[in-house]
């Protein structure tokens, strides 16, 4: 893939007389400041550099490439000289050579840097960039005869219509190979190739291995077995697999050719599909495999731990530091980490009197290739076996089994469990130098105490000054703006210390959810606020602020108003208007709360539908909430509903219809398609709304409130509701606490809408702007 964040210097201050065209004829040349543009304007061919700062033409690496010409964010798609960068561009040109091949020529030395190397018997050739992004070389007298094409030599990107696979007659093997890092198109670590064993499937493998870490599954005539979403309705891409006596390959086709798309094997080793969003001016990922980053083989390199739900996802083990911080910043983490201190057994060349120690790493998934040591019955024996061999870097003793690892330690993965090993996690014992072990385990406290004692007198003076400063800050109020950051919608950037003061150090807790806890607070003008502390927010500051800006622009009576945010270091907080009547679940499912009569419930149902319709249809980007449930429907002083908690929201550009995201939400409310990992649409919110509507009617949790049918069998409430609706007995569905004080016509309408919304097939559900759909209940009154 690559979202390239480097400078593209194609048009410098110097003007050129070369007119944009899609063809190079014999005798013509393309210089550094020129480019070919395909007939449809979508692709361009020219020279680019990979310098992230102001480059020097003498030191910068230059490449020939094809990129997306209509996309403002420079994005490369093909780089033929990826392993042969060009340093000097003074006399650089792309031209037709005397033998008819297309070449990159250094005029000053008359040397050829790159060539199409086609077997051409004539020298009258023409090069042309086609509208599909294919650079072809043809005979000038017969343009239908293709002598060479870039589609036969892909780099990291598969163009729509290009073949990925084998030409059995020529032996050509078309495959994708990732970039080395975000700033270097050189041959990288991962490969997407046709299964060499002969199976009709594609494999993702390390370049130096044929063992896959992910496969498409075998083609069954319609789709690959591991990608069932290919058979869904209206996918953004369709695939075709061809196997005959001459060829065996796959092609991808874009359903809507007006979309600008990318299919790429990126630096992370994952196969991804993107669609360009004009609304967000960025690429939006609609597909990725494998779904979890830590499934990619050795993605973090040696002596690291991979975290599926963290950014960054790689971390060095204790006693190790990043081998190449520069590459890690460019998303190439495969170099891993290196020891801070050499092992004692290496420096002293002794395994009998070594001072090496073992650092425990609990709750991890271990590689499966470790040799088992027989006749070892205890942890101490297992440790001794490892210490007796200087190449042993770690051991584990789990389920009465001793396993040891030699040399580099790869593919250690953190699991979601408590601080010690559990049934789902094991403990690894990592061999480290005694020096590193003591610093990490014993000496840190002593160092802190020593420093604190030595600086005691100075600290007292500083502490006094700090008290004065804190007092002044408190007096200035809790609604200060950070660095003048305030949007046109009056979104305030709060200081974390001010929010601590406003919430009395987060003591008045209103509730908690999967993304964090909510606390009540007051601004200095006594305005009540709700402060949500995002405990698991691992996104970067730029991304967080961009999402805050998008959500802050949303203004609707049925959506909770975002007052401000806090983004300091790893701290992420959102500040909302306070809702005195708390959330809908409190009133539906708790006996000691206010009983909502039917009229209030019906108005709540209408308000939530209007709020969702606004999110889906009226914003610049379609906002998919992803977690509609009673806990996220708040009630103001007049019980007007306001949809809350956009911590899981997903923005979807208007140019396309679905987007990929990991399965989130809450059991009992998320739609079936999420279980299969397919790209989602706003219909997931429609499904959740239907479930909430049933709970508003019944006053019961749909996920844990089975009903007894006539046959004395427990029936899932939504199914029971559908049956009663068909039987014309909707009165039996109503919350008994309402004592039949209801409008049965409204109950029947609400029940019909709910049953329509919770259809298993998303295409059977209404949209929020459907005249008969959930937003229609807003017109029914």
| Span of 421-425, 617-621, 752-756 with lowest mean pLDDT | 421-425
Write out the E strands in 282-325: 282-289, 304-306, 314-316, 320-322
CA distance 32 to 12: 9
Rounded CA separation 313/458 (Å): 40
What would the pLDDT profile of 194-208 be if each residue is shown by its tens digit? 999 999 999 999 998
User: How far from 615 is each of 178, 550, 611, CA to CA, in Å?
Assistant: 37, 11, 6
| Mean pLDDT within 633-649 | 82
Distance CA(301)–CA(124), nearest Å, equals: 50
The helix/strand/coil state of 164 is: strand
| 627 tagged catalytic | yes
Report pLDDT for 59.
Answer: 57
Question: Contact, 222 vs 287, CB < 8 A?
Answer: no
| Confidence class for position 243, pLDDT limits 50, 70, 90 | very high
The better pLDDT of the pair 316, 515 is held by 316
23/133 Cα distance (integer angstroms): 13
Q: What is the pLDDT of residue 392?
A: 93
What's residue 424's pLDDT?
63
Q: Which of 139-148, 475-484, 487-496 has the lowest mean pLDDT?
A: 475-484
Task: Tell me the Ramachandran region of residue 284: left when phi exceeds 0, alpha when psi lies from -120 to 50, beta otherwise.
Answer: beta
d(CA 479, CA 492): 7
For helices 444-454 and 456-475, the axis angle rounded to 10 degrees is: 90
Same fold, 304-434 and 473-578: no
Question: At the fourth CATH level, which superfamily is domain 304-434?
Answer: Hepatocyte Growth Factor (3.50.4.10)
Per-residue pLDDT, 117: 92
CA distances from 447 to 412, 439, 440, 453, 454 (A): 31, 9, 11, 10, 11
Residues in CB range of 704: below 8 A, 6 or more apart: 668
Backbone torsion region of residue 127, taken as left when φ is above 0, otherwise alpha when ψ lies between -120 and 50, otherwise beta:
beta
Residue 189's nearest CA partner among 245, 122, 262, 265 is: 265
Q: Which tokens sit at 56?
A: 């020097």
Mean pLDDT, residues 37-49 taken together: 95
Query: Is 532 annotated in some ligand binding site?
Result: yes
Cα dihedral 560, 563, 566, 567, rounded to 10, equals 70
Which pLDDT score is estimated for 703? Answer: 60
Does the domain spanning 1-152 belong to CATH 3.40.50.10490? no
CA–CA gap between residue 504 and residue 399 (Å, rounded) = 48
- 189 vs 89: which has the higher pLDDT: 189
Residues 6+ apart with CB under 8 A from 588: 596, 630, 695, 696, 699
Query: Scanning the structure block, which residue is given the tokens 């020129």?
Result: 34
pTM (global) more than 0.75:
no
Query: Any idea of the CA torsion for 171, 175, 181, 187, to the nearest 10 degrees?
Result: 0
Handedness of CA 176, 178, 183, 186 (dihedral sign): negative
Q: How far apart are the first and last CA of the chain?
A: 51
Q: What confidence score (pLDDT) does residue 473 get? A: 44
If residue 354 lies in a helix (H) or strand (E), which one and from where to where? none
What is the arithmetic mean of pLDDT over 90-109?
88
Residue 296 pLDDT > 80: yes
Return the closest-CA partner of residue 692 out of 641, 616, 622, 649: 641
Residue count of the chain, please give it: 781
Residues 6+ apart with CB under 8 A from 405: 367, 370, 392, 393, 394, 395
Q: Sign (positive/negative) of CA torsion 452, 455, 456, 461?
A: negative
- Low-confidence winner among 50-64, 94-108, 212-226, 620-634 (lowest mean pLDDT): 50-64
From 762, 617, 636, select the one nearest 690 (Cα to Cα): 762
Distance CA 220, CA 308 (A): 31
The answer to whether 695 touches 704, Cβ cutoff 8 Å, is no
57 pLDDT above the threshold of 60: no
Alpha-carbon distance of 262 to 275, in angstroms, equals 7
In this prediction, residue 29 carries a pLDDT of: 92
CA dihedral over 583, 589, 593, 599, signed as positive or negative: positive
Judge whether 273 and 285 are in contact, CB under 8 Å.
Answer: yes
> Which pLDDT does position 375 carry in this prediction?
82
What mean pLDDT comes out for the span 133-145? Answer: 90
Read off the pLDDT band of 458 (50, 70, 90): very low
Q: Using CB atoms within 10 A of its CB, is residue 640 exposed (0-12), middle (13-18) or buried (19+)? A: middle
pLDDT of 462 higher than 80 = no
Which residue bears the tokens 């058979």? Answer: 231
In this prediction, residues 59-66 reach a mean pLDDT of 87
DSSP-assigned states of every residue in 98-113: TTS-EEEEETTTTEEE
Q: Mean pLDDT, to the nearest integer, of 31-40?
A: 93
Whose CA is closest to 294, among 304, 285, 282? Answer: 304
pLDDT at 514: 55
Given the residues 184, 195, 585, 627, select the one marked as catalytic.
627
pLDDT value, residue 337: 96
What local confidence, expressed as pLDDT, does residue 534 receive? 78
Find the mean pLDDT for residues 547-552. 72
DSSP 679: P
Contact 237, 252 (CB under 8 A): yes
Q: Residue ranges of the domains in the chain?
A: 1-152, 304-434, 473-578
Q: Beta strand 357-365 with 714-715: parallel, antiparallel or unpaired? A: unpaired
Minimal CA–CA distance to 298: which of 310, 289, 290, 306? 306
d(C-alpha 67, C-alpha 306), whole Å: 32
> Does residue 36 carry a pLDDT above 90?
yes
d(CA 478, CA 529) in angstroms, rounded, equals 11
Choose between 434 and 130: higher pLDDT.
130
Contacting residues for 757 by C-beta, under 8 A, at least 6 apart: 686, 687, 689, 690, 691, 693, 765, 766, 773, 774
Q: Is 61 helix (H, G, I), strand (E, B) or coil?
A: coil
For residue range 735-780, list pLDDT tens digits in order.
988 888 899 999 999 999 999 999 888 888 998 766 433 433 333 3
Structure confidence by residue, pLDDT tens digits, 587-598: 998 766 678 999
What 3-state DSSP class applies to 729?
coil
Q: Where are the beta strands (DSSP E) in 535-674?
A: 562-568, 571-577, 622-624, 633-635, 641-643, 650-652
Q: Give the orientation angle of helix 744-757 with respect to helix 683-698, to 10 degrees.
A: 150
**What fold characterizes domain 473-578?**
Phosphorylase Kinase; domain 1 (3.30.200)
CA dihedral over 364, 369, 373, 377, signed as positive or negative: positive
CA distance 25 to 126: 5
* Percent share of the chain, pLDDT over 90: 44
Q: Give mean pLDDT, residues 669-688.
A: 79
Instruction: Using CB atoms within 10 Å of the CB of residue 472, give its burial: 0 to 12 exposed, 13 to 18 middle, 19+ buried.
Output: exposed
- What CA–CA distance (Å, rounded) separates 490 from 488? 5
DSSP state of 441: I
Q: How confident is the model at residue 435 (pLDDT cuts 50, 70, 90)?
A: confident
Please tell me the chain's helix, strand, coil percentages from 3-state DSSP, rounded to the nearest 5.
Answer: 25, 30, 50
DSSP letter string, 494-548 = --HHHHHHHTTTTTSEEEEETTEEEEEEE-TT--EEEEEEETT--S-HHHHHHHH
| 544 compared with 381, residue with greater pLDDT | 381
SS3 422: coil
Cα–chain-centroid distance for residue 445?
Answer: 38
The pLDDT score that the predictor gives to residue 475 is 40
For residue 413, what pLDDT is reported?
93
pLDDT computed for residue 453 by the predictor: 31
């Amino acid at each position: 893939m690559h979202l390239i964040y480097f400078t593209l210097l194609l048009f410098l201050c110097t003007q050129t007389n070369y007119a944009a065209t899609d063809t190079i004829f014999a005798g013509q040349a393309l210089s550094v400041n020129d480019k070919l543009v395909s007939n449809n304007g979508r692709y361009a061919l020219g020279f680019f550099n990979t310098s992230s700062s102001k480059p020097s033409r003498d030191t910068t690496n230059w490449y020939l490439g094809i990129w997306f010409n209509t996309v403002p964010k420079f994005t490369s798609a093909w780089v033929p000289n990826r392993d042969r960068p060009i340093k000097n561009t003074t006399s650089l040109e792309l031209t037709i050579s005397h033998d008819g091949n297309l070449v990159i020529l250094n005029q000053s030395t008359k040397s050829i840097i790159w060539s199409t190397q086609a077997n051409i018997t004539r020298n009258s050739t023409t090069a042309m960039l086609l509208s599909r992004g294919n650079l072809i070389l043809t005979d000038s007298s017969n343009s239908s005869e293709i002598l060479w094409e870039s589609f036969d030599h892909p780099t990291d990107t598969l163009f729509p219509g290009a073949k990925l696979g084998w030409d059995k007659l020529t032996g050509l093997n078309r495959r994708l190979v990732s970039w080395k890092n975000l700033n270097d198109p050189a041959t990288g670590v991962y490969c997407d190739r046709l299964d060499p064993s002969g199976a009709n499937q594609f494999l993702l493998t390390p370049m130096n291995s044929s063992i896959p870490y992910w496969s498409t599954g075998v083609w069954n005539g319609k789709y690959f077995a591991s990608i069932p979403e290919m058979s869904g309705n209206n996918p953004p891409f369709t695939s075709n697999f061809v196997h005959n006596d001459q060829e065996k390959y796959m092609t991808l086709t874009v359903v809507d050719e007006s979309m600008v798309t990318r299919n790429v094997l990126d630096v992370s080793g994952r196969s991804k599909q993107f669609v360009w969003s004009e609304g967000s001016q960025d690429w939006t990922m609609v597909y990725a495999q494998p779904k979890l980053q830590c499934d990619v083989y050795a993605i973090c390199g040696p002596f690291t731990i991979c975290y599926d739900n963290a950014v960054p996802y790689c971390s060095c083990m204790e006693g190790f530091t990043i081998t190449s911080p520069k590459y890690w910043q460019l998303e190439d983490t495969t170099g891993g980490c290196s020891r801070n201190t050499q092992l004692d057994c290496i420096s002293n060349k002794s395994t009998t009197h070594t001072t090496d120690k073992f650092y425990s790493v609990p709750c991890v998934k271990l590689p499966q290739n470790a040799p088992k040591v027989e006749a070892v019955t205890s942890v101490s024996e297992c440790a001794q076996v490892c210490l007796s061999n200087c190449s042993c870097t770690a051991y584990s003793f789990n389920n009465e089994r001793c396993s040891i690892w030699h040399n580099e330690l790869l593919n250690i993965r953190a699991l979601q469990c408590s601080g010690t090993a559990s049934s789902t996690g094991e403990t690894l014992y990592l061999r480290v130098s005694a020096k590193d072990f003591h610093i990490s385990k014993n000496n840190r406290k002593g160092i802190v105490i020593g420093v604190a004692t030595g600086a005691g007198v100075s600290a007292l003076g500083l502490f006094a000054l700090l008290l004065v400063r804190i007092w002044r800050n408190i007096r200035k109020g809790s609604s200060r703006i950070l660095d003048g950051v305030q949007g046109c919608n009056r979104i305030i950037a709060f200081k974390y210390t001010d929010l601590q003061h406003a919430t009395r150090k987060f003591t008045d807790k209103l509730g908690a959810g999967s993304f964090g806890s909510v606390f009540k607070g007051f601004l200095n003008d006594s305005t009540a606020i709700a402060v949500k502390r995002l405990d698991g927010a691992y996104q970067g500051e730029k991304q967080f602020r961009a999402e805050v800006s998008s959500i802050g622009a949303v203004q609707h009576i049925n959506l909770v108003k975002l007052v401000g945010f806090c983004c300091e270091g790893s701290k992420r907080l959102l500040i909302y208007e306070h809702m005195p009547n708390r959330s809908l679940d409190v009133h539906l499912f708790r006996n000691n709360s206010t009983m909502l009569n039917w009229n209030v419930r019906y108005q709540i149902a209408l308000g939530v539908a209007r709020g969702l319709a606004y999110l889906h249809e009226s914003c610049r980007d379609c906002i998919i909430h992803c977690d509609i449930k009673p806990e996220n429907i708040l009630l103001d002083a007049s019980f007007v509903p306001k949809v809350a908690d956009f911590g899981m929201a997903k923005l979807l550009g208007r140019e396309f219809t679905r987007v990929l995201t990991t399965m989130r939400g809450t059991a009992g409310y998320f739609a079936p398609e999420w279980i299969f990992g397919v790209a989602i649409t706003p219909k997931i919110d429609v499904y959740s709304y239907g479930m909430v509507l049933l709970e508003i009617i019944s006053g019961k949790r749909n996920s844990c409130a089975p009903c007894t049918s006539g046959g004395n069998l427990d029936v899932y409430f939504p199914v029971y509701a559908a049956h009663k609706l068909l039987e014309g007995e909707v009165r039996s569905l109503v919350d008994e606490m309402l004592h039949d004080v209801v409008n049965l016509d409204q109950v029947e309408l609400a029940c019909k809408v709910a049953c329509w919304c919770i259809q298993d097939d998303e295409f059977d559900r209404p949209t929020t702007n459907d005249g008969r759909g959930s937003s229609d209940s807003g017109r029914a009154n």
